[in-house]
Amino acid sequence: MTWITRVLPVALLAFVCGLLLAGRDHGASSASAAALDLRSPLTLKQSAPRNGKVVMTWRNRATQGRVIEVRTFRGGKQFGVVRRLPKGTSRITIAAPPAGRRVTVKVRACARRGGPCGGSAFTTVVGRGSATPGTPSTPPPPVPNGPVGDVPMVGSCPVRPASDPWNTDISSEPVDPRSDAYIKSIGAGDTLHPDFGSGQYGDFGIPFAVVPANQPLVPIRFVAYPDESDPGPYPIPLNAHIEGGPNAPADGDRHVIVVREGECKEYDLFHARREGGGFSADGGAVWDLTKSTYRPDGWTSADAAGLPILPGLARADEASAGKIRHALRFTVSKSQAAYVPPASHEASFSTDRNLPPMGLRLRLKASFDRTPYTGQARAILDALATYGMIVADNGSDWFISGTPDPAWDDDNLNTLKKVPGSAFEAIETKGIKRG
């Protein structure tokens, strides 16, 4: 492999200087937090310190195809953890650096996520913190909680309040001025695709498990996004079903989702692996299913858009009962570097505003004739007309997410593949945010 300096601009290398500082002075208050002086031409951006942390944002297309390994050094000795940043990474939250702290960081590209990094040469960059305090800010206020009301349920737990965005009727919301452009970019002539089923044709879908209130806790080690993850331990069974099944590819999403009854919390992991008596994962998030709280701006979750996963999954029990009372999660192959609340994280470098932002919400047009559709497929289409579907990650266009379940009727689900992209429209985006 070639030196990583041929792949990464100075701006990206410069940002990594802050990573060493993430392993030091975690208790620093936001009042004394310092900015980062990299003394280099920058395309790197740094937020004002908040609660002793800053968000570092950069733009570099090369990282879309590279996993980056970062090692931090002081006095010639390595300290802290080895960090691996997934391909497509564009931001990270780190501890605000103290003034005058000199750091040395070595960076190299890896073959792929989970693959070896050996053979790729390191490059070294030095940075230093400077005493330029920022103004602390506070996280965005949560979406107001409403009564539980007629909401989806998992076990004995509601899946977020009736007023939560996932559970909100958007059938009368105005159409976004860019709706036609968004639909064209996703593929007006392409069709809907249910990315789940009975398991007859493979291990498709995102599984979840409901565990009792006394489920034992296990340690979780976060690899890529420790500063944007909710710390463990998590109540995840060691035999939990990982997305993709026993032979899930190493570079797959490998989600693990657990709901613990009693406290009614959702625990999500991304790129999860068994590790000793617990798990390692790129990132994770914990969600109180009785509230409408979301991630701080700029934070990811176990989903690229920073959203909870469970509320957006189609479930066979709901569809078989004839009513799905929430929006669905879906993916697009190309997105812009922006997000719409309640999403909190972008997953692209593109500045093309005709591409969908993370969190964009589409709905099935009222003019689309649903009468030929029956059973589970009809319940899904009714939900898409009433609650819509939300862009949650980059992936295959028009793929909607659901749980694997023998109760799915695969032949019936396949009728959804007749629904064209042109049958959808984007509702008005409010508060779109760009890096």
Beta strand 278-281 with 273-275 is: antiparallel
Q: What is the pLDDT of residue 151?
A: 86
How far is residue 33 from each of residues 295, 343, 372, measured CA to CA in Å? Answer: 22, 27, 61
Contact 345, 332 (CB under 8 A): no
Contact 339, 433 (CB under 8 A): yes
Domains along the chain? 4-130 (2.60.40), 153-434 (no CATH)
Q: What is the pLDDT of residue 110?
A: 58
Q: Determine the residue type at 416.
A: L
Q: Is 100 exposed, middle or buried (0-12, 13-18, 19+ CB in 10 A)?
A: exposed
Q: What is the pLDDT of residues 213-246, one digit of tens each?
A: 999 999 999 999 999 999 999 999 999 999 988 7
Q: Is 135 exposed, middle or buried (0-12, 13-18, 19+ CB in 10 A)?
A: exposed
Q: What is the pLDDT of residues 275-329, one digit of tens each?
A: 999 999 999 999 999 999 999 999 999 999 999 999 999 999 999 999 999 999 9
* pLDDT at residue 101 is higher than 70: no
Phi-psi region of 181 (alpha: psi -120 to 50; beta: other; left: phi over 0): alpha
- Alpha-carbon gap, residue 365 to 424, rounded angstroms: 5
Distance, CA of 408 to chain centre: 26
Report the pLDDT averaged over residues 414-424. 99
Q: What is the pLDDT of residue 39?
A: 31
Q: Which residues of 361-380 are buried (b: 16+ CB within 10 A; e: fewer)?
A: bbbbeeebebeebeebbbbb
Q: What is the pLDDT of residue 68?
A: 54
Distance, CA of 107 to chain centre: 24
